[in-house]
């Protein structure tokens, strides 16, 4: 057995029952507290930003506690090491310390700011994926997440001008996006809902057959999304999902096509079995229709979008006080760590390769491979880190978690750069009379 497959076997050996034993180890030696604090403190630009942040913990036996808040990174650490939460959620930054919310005059305790977040869940695509359903995922349907990330990332950056996006694997069947720009954190409920609506194209539940309706003119952002979908469609839909293969799947596609075209396609499909050729014919019909009919008929685009366009839950994005699973939280059912995703390597991301808590704890016990030089990163000032922290830094670096913490580091560097720019601008203005 090779080393990698051995390791894969180890991670596949995650048992939820072992969680109570692994969590203390995780929080004591692996959880990247200093990066975590660095993130949520946002450079200390706004007073009490970290102190007024709500955290919620799910403890053993499903005990759920809200309105946790902490004054310092140390306090956060101590508490997490004491409670060993199964799940951690991050909430909003409030007007007062959340853990004192009961002492505040009723009505004055309010959620003020929070990152703009998106939650893409694979179960929302159950009607268009044939390989899995419910909580299951596989490499064949994971492409949907890749497509979703590409489309949303472009739109959030290019259309809305956001720059600091942290994409995170949820640990089981989806991805989250944390938009951390200052402007994003300050958005109102109405604004968040408008952004989410702008990004939504697939509408309707079980009763709706045709979930995407395009009308002329086709908005530039939809055109951009189509470019992404078209890139992945042949492999993902025609091959992996075989949407034009089995009769059942074919019927579902044809339900989205105008009556007259449907008849012709049925006939054509009787003799032609190749999915690419079938799709080619469908597209040809669409092109003809568009040329002849006054009102554009975009059924081939609608089909592609219905099968591939990101499906997000508007309610998650709307609320300023909505609690969302924290990055580096553990997923109790799968054991996987909620890790950041490197968009530069997006096509290579494999959710089954994401380390589990059992894997990284096992890696801690590995004998060291050679003497590791203690590299002091430029970000870490020796005087500010105590011995325990230093040890922890060395610890996670020895595990598969390392590369994911690095992604977070790079993300935070970007945020810091922006902050610096802002502070400079502010001080420049102040010098003016």
Partner 1 sequence: MQFTGRKRRLIGNPKTELYGHCLQFYGQPPLENISLTEFETFAVDRLKLLKTVENLGVSQVKGSELYKNKLDKEFSNLHFPYKAEVKEEDKVGPNEYEKRRKDHISHFILRLAYCQTEDLRRWFIQQEVDLFRYRFNYLTQAQKSSFLQHNNLHYETVGLEEKMALSDKLISSSYAVSGCKVENQDYYKVPFQDALDLVRNRKVYLKAGYVYIPHQDIVITVLNDFRTQLSKALALTARSLPTVLSDERLQPLLSHLSHAYVGQDYSIQKNMGKISLEQIDPLSGKSFPLCMRGLHQALRENHHLRHGGRMQYGLFLKGIGLTLEQALQFWRSEFTKSKVDTDKFDKQYAYSIRHNYGKEGKRTDYTPYSCMKVILSNAPSQGDHHGCPFRHSDAELLKQKLQSYKVSPSGIAQILDLVKGMHYQLACQKYFELTHNIEDSGFSLNHPNQYFLESQRVLGGGGKEAKAEPPQRAPDVAAKPPLDPPALAEMTEDLDAYFQDG
Catalytic residues: 54, 119, 121
Residue 192 and residue 313 in contact, taking contact as beta carbons nearer than 8 Å? no
Distance between CA 243 and CA 229 in Å, rounded? 15
Is residue 195 part of the contact set for partner 1 (CB under 8 A)?
yes
- Over the window 212 to 241, marking each residue x when it contacts partner 1 by CB under 8 A and - when it does not, the resulting string is -----xxxxxxx------------------
Is residue 197 part of the contact set for partner 1 (CB under 8 A)?
yes
Smallest distance, Å, CB 427 to partner 1?
16
**Candidates 134-142, 194-202, 369-377, 387-395 — which segment interacts with partner 1 by CB under 8 A?**
194-202
Distance between CA 281 and CA 275 in Å, rounded? 10
- Judged by beta carbon, residue 29 or residue 114, the one nearer partner 1 is 114
- The count of chain residues that interact with partner 1, using the rule CB under 8 A, is 23
Distance between CA 6 and CA 238 in Å, rounded? 34
What is the chain's alpha carbon radius of gyration, rounded to the nearest angstrom?
24
Tokens standing for residue 161: 């001008």
In the set 37, 67, 160, 268, which binds partner 1 (CB under 8 A)? 160
- Judged by beta carbon, residue 24 or residue 220, the one nearer partner 1 is 220
- Judged by beta carbon, residue 160 or residue 269, the one nearer partner 1 is 160
Nearest to 343 by CA among 100, 192, 163, 84: 163
DSSP for 207-256? T-S------SSPPHHHHHHHHHHHHHHIIIIIIIS-TTTSHHHHHHHHTT
Q: Which residues contact 304 (CB under 8 A, 6 or more apart)?
A: 226, 229, 230, 233, 237
- Over the window 113 to 152, marking each residue x when it contacts partner 1 by CB under 8 A and - when it does not, the resulting string is ----------------------------------------
Smallest distance, Å, CB 140 to partner 1?
31
Is residue 422 part of the contact set for partner 1 (CB under 8 A)?
no
Distance between CA 159 and CA 224 in Å, rounded? 11
Is residue 421 part of the contact set for partner 1 (CB under 8 A)?
no
Smallest distance, Å, CB 93 to partner 1?
19
Is residue 159 part of the contact set for partner 1 (CB under 8 A)?
yes
Is residue 376 part of the contact set for partner 1 (CB under 8 A)?
no
For the segment 37-76, give every residue that binds partner 1 (CB under 8 A). Answer: none
Cα separation of the two ends of the chain: 72
Is residue 17 part of the contact set for partner 1 (CB under 8 A)?
no
Is residue 158 part of the contact set for partner 1 (CB under 8 A)?
yes
Smallest distance, Å, CB 150 to partner 1?
18
Q: Which residues contact 118 (CB under 8 A, 6 or more apart)?
A: 152, 176, 177, 179, 196, 199, 312, 316, 317
Smallest distance, Å, CB 304 to partner 1?
18
Is beta strand 53-59 parallel, antiparallel or unpaired with respect to 87-94? antiparallel
Distance between CA 147 and CA 231 in Å, rounded? 9
Footprint of partner 1 (CB under 8 A): 158-162, 183, 187-188, 190-191, 193-195, 197-198, 217-223, 433
């Amino acid at each position: 057995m090779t080393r990698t497959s051995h390791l894969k076997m180890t991670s596949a050996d995650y048992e939820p029952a072992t969680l109570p034993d692994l969590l203390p180890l995780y929080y004591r030696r692996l959880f990247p507290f200093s990066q975590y604090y660095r993130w949520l403190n946002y450079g200390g630009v706004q007073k009490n930003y970290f102190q007024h942040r709500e955290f919620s913990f799910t403890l053993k036996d499903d005990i759920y506690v809200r309105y946790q808040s902490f004054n310092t990174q140390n306090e956060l650490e101590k508490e997490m090491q004491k409670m060993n939460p199964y799940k951690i959620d991050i909430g909003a930054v409030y007007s007062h310390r959340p853990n004192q919310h009961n002492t505040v005059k009723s009505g004055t305790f309010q959620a003020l700011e929070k990152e703009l977040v998106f939650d893409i869940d694979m179960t929302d695509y159950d009607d268009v994926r044939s390989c899995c359903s419910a909580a299951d995922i596989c490499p064949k349907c994971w492409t949907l997440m890749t497509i979703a990330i590409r489309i949303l990332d472009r739109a959030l950056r290019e259309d809305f001008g956001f720059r600091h996006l942290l994409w995170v694997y949820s640990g089981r069947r989806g991805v989250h996006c944390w938009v951390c720009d200052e402007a994003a954190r300050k958005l109102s409920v109405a604004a968040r809902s408008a952004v989410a609506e702008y990004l939504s194209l697939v509408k309707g539940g079980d009763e709706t057959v045709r979930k995407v309706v395009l009308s002329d003119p086709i908005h530039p952002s939809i055109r951009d999304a189509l470019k992404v979908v078209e890139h992945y469609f042949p492999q993902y839909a025609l091959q992996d999902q075989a949407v034009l293969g089995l009769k059942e799947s074919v019927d579902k596609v044809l339900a989205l096509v105008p009556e007259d075209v449907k008849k012709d396609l049925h006939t054509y499909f009787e003799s032609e079995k190749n999915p690419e050729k079938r799709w080619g014919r469908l597209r040809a019909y669409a092109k003809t229709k568009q040329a002849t009919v006054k009102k554009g008929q975009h059924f081939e685009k609608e089909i592609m979008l219905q099968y591939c366009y990101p499906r997000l839950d508007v309610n998650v994005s709307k609320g300023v006080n909505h609690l969302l699973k924290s990055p580096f939280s553990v997923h109790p059912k799968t054991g996987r760590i909620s890790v950041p995703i490197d968009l530069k390597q997006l096509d290579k991301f494999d959710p089954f390769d994401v380390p589990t808590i059992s894997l990284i704890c096992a890696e801690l016990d590995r004998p060291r491979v050679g003497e590791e030089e203690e590299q002091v990163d430029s970000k870490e000032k020796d005087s500010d880190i105590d011995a325990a922290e230093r040890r922890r830094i060395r610890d996670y670096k020895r595990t598969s978690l390392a590369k994911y913490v690095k992604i977070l580091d790079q993300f935070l560097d970007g945020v810091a750069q922006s902050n610096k720019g802002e502070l400079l601008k502010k001080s420049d203005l102040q010098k003016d009379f």
